[in-house]
Each structure stands twice: as C-alpha cells, then as structure tokens.
Amino acid sequence: MVAEFPLTNQDPLLPFLHSIAKAISDGSDVSQVALNCIHKFKGDTRYRNDARFLKVWFLYMDSCSDYQAVFKEIMRFKICLFNSSLYESYALTLEMKEKLIDAFMVYHLGISRKAQPLARLKKAQVLFLERCSDRLTSASVKKMEPKENNEFVNPWLVSTTKSLLEKMNADIIKYDGYFQINKPYPGKVILSSLHKSGRNKEIEIGRNKYQIKGCAGQGGFAQVLKAHSTSNPEDGVVALKIQKPPFPWEFYMYRQLDCRIPQAERMSFGFAHEMHLFADYSIIISEYFGDGTLQDAINLYLCKNTFMDEVLCMYYTIELLHMLEILHDADIIHGDLKPDNLLLRNSRDDLTVGGDAFLDRTGSWNAQGLCLIDWGRGIDLSLFPPETKFIGDSRTSGFRCIEMQEKKAWTFEVDAYGLCAIAHTMLHGKYMEIDHRISPNDFYEYQPKLAFKRYWKGELWKELFSKLLNMKPSEDYKKTLQTLRKKFQDYLCTDPTLVGKLKQLLLNQKASIICST
C-alpha cells in the first residue's frame, strides 16, 4: 500500500502522515510511526472512512507478521468498510501468502458490501481468478479447463504459464541476464512506494545501484520507473519494471524475441537487459524510451480538439502491419496490442523524402517508428501443439477481439483486432465499437460503427477493417497483412508530397510531445 497523503488544514492526522512520509523518504522503519498513528486515531470517527488512514493500517500490516490480526482490527473499528481498496489490498496480501480461498472470500465480502468503486473491485476479482484458478478449490470458483485433446487452451491461466515455465526452467536459468534469489527483496526501500515517493532515491538491484528519476507507468500489478545507473554511468537511463507477485514469463518472452526476430527488425519489439527474480518481486531492467507512447500522441491531438492526420494514421498502421508480419511469422502473439504498449521511436537523423528509403525502411526511416513492449500476455506458439486454439479473455476494455466477445476460440485474431482498434482510435479519437452488417458482396461482416470521413481514403480503411475483423480459416493470414501494408505504402508513395508531409507531421509531433512532458 503506497503512502501518498494529501494536505488538509487543521487536521490532527496530518503530523503523523508527515512523519510516515519522512520515514519512507529516509528509508527508515515506518512500522512504529504507523502503529502510533493507529493507536491515536483508531477510535476517532472522523477518520473511519478516510482512505489516508486506511493506507496507514496497510503500511503497518506490511511490516507485521500477524497480518490477520491487523485486518481484524480494521474490521472491528470499521475503517473504510465500503472502500474497495480495503478488500483489494488485503486480498493481494493473502494471495502473496498463498491463502487463495481466503483471498477469494475477501473479494466476495467487498462485493457483497458494494464497496466503491464496485466495478474496479469486480475486475480485480476476475483477474485474481484468472491468475489462481488452477489452485482454487472453492465450489463457488469456476475454472476453465482445456479439452483433453488440447484443442483449446487458456494461455493466460497461472497454471498454464507455471507449467510451461517449469518445463523450461533448465533453459531459462541459463539465459543471459537472469538472476534468481529465493528470498524476499533485501533492499531497505519499499519497492511498492517508489512510483509515488521514490524520486532521487537510490535502490540496489543485484550488484548495481540505481537512482530513481520518476514513474514511467503504472498498472494493476506492476510499476515502471525511470532510473539512472549510478554503478555504471555509461549505462545511462533505464526502465525498471517492478512486479508483485513476481512474474518471470515476460523475461522469457523477451529472450524468445532475441532468438527469433531478425536483427534488422529487432528494435521494434523492445529489449530486456536483466531480470532479478525475488520471492516477492520481479524486476526487469530494460532500455528507456523518452519519446512517449502512441497513446501520448493520440492524446496530444485530443487535447487540441482535433484528430491525428490521416497520413500519420496510415504511417503507424503500416508500422503495425509490418510488426505483426514479423511477429506472427516467428510464432509469437503479443496478446495485449494497444496504444499504451507502443513506444514512439524517433530518428535522430533527418528523414529522407526522395528515393526508396521510406518504402524499404532503410536509412533514417529504419530508426523511426514504433516499439512494442509489455510482453506479460505474450504467447509462444511453439510451446503448444500445432493448430491449438486459445480461449480466455484479455478483459482490456476496447481491445477484446470479436472471438472473446462471442466466447469463441482465437489465435492471431487477438492481435489483428488490436491493430484495428488502434487504427480506429487514431482516426476517430474513440474506442472502436463494431456492427454486424451486410457487406457490398451480400454477406454479413463486422465493421466499425463510426463512418469514415468522406475526404479519407475510404476504400483502404474499409478493406483493412473488413479483412482483419472477418478473418477466415482458409485465408493466408500473413499474405493478408502483406497485401494491406503494400496498399497503404503504395498510396503514400504515389504522391511525393505525402512523404514530405509525413516527415513534417512527425517532427511537429515530436516537438509537441517534448513540450508537454
């Protein structure tokens, strides 16, 4: 539980919160300060529904061996009984202790009390069930089982990932940059607090020290920090992805990318230098991109009450089509394709307009483009029997493929849908909603609900969405990607001014993002 305490006037709790924040900042023990605060205010009705006070209880719980007694006291004094953070935080604590049925019952208790925000708590419970369904035995927990012939598999079940990692453990421990310590993280700094109060703190990972420069991203179970290596200054700025519970699968996926992606294309899929696996955390050290994400670029235009220029949308769509060609040819599915997971790559050299450099992705255009990160939902198809189909729901709003929405099996469709959803967001500034409507060829197909603007290159966009949202088993999927990509490329290259316009749009976008950060 992270300590972040907003200031209020004439607040008796405030001096205690300052003391706790200072203890965290100094890297000293917060347990006694937190306990003093609890003893002082646990019976004070003013703080019964104060989320700040709840955070104090969980900071103390993190350092207390009898965590169950702490939770009983929270319940006895009715601290934030209708705040979903109470149930989500304690359930995560129980999950870490391998008390999975107890954790499930805590989620159930919070939902039965309609703790707010209720939607967040329900989603947290669903994600918990997906992580732990292989070990839960409660009759109220329904578990998805693959068929006996392995025709259908949920690749995101904890049981699936754990089984695959166990089979490959002998190889994984030999990977360059893999470090495993079967003990909790030994550092003095509380890792879970770094994204809020860690700026300029120094932490140790292995034999190296890193100074935290800021938070680069935050998810439900992981935080990504911008850090500078003080042990090896020549390493410069890196990204530290800190995850709790520990999750080695993503590092495995990065090493598969190293082996299977052609070197000329490797910069489009992210790198991981090291992973340090502890009993309570995993930390992936990777390269840091400072130019923002595709989502940042989309937001930039939305803030100006406009949309991304169609030429720029085409360029990024070409990039995505090319990336999926490479990735799926390597028998890898990303599984979580969305603008937040696409970093912008900006060339340091002047982008050439004439010649074939743009078309061939050579010269300065080779350093320009996108970089796909966050491989926690990555799927290595080589680990499954041929023709395996997958079940399972990403539960990512706006990016659930049609097969997930209709509870059907899927493979490459998950990434194809993600590409369409990204293209739609670039064009319209909104998540994609789909209709099942009759096509010009007199058969029903899925298409986005929103119409294309009349001055867009409508036939290109219609074909993109038609092909990728309605893939047939008999179709050559890789050829479809190639054909679509070449049509967009040909359009941009037919008019010499379009590539020049693209160059200027990219320069303007880069400057605007730098100014906004």
Distance CA 196, CA 215 (A): 8
How many C-beta neighbours within 10 Å does residue 484 have? 20
Place of tokens 């598969």: 256
How many C-beta neighbours within 10 Å does residue 337 have? 28
Q: Is 336 a catalytic residue?
A: yes
**C-alpha distances in angstroms, 127 versus 91, 156, 221, 260?**
12, 10, 10, 30
DSSP 394: -
Helix (H) or strand (E) holding 489: helix 477-494
**Tokens read off for 353:** 């307009």
Distance CA 211, CA 201 (A): 6
Three-state DSSP state, 495: coil
Distance CA 79, CA 124 (A): 21
Distance CA 317, CA 129 (A): 35
Dihedral over Cα of 357, 360, 363, 365: its sign: positive
DSSP 233: G
Q: Cα 131 vs. chain centroid, distance in angstroms?
A: 16
Of 317, 159, 168, 218, nearest in space to 4 by CA: 218
284 pairs with which residues across the strands?
241, 275
User: What is the number of residues in the chain?
Assistant: 517
| DSSP annotation string for 321-384 | HHHHHHHHHTTEE-S---GGGEEEE--SSPPP-STTHHHHT-GGGGG-EEEE---TT-EEGGGS
Q: Is the CB of residue 437 less than 8 Å from the CB of residue 445? A: yes
Q: Which of 44, 62, 66, 336 is catalytic?
A: 336
Just list the catalytic residues: 336
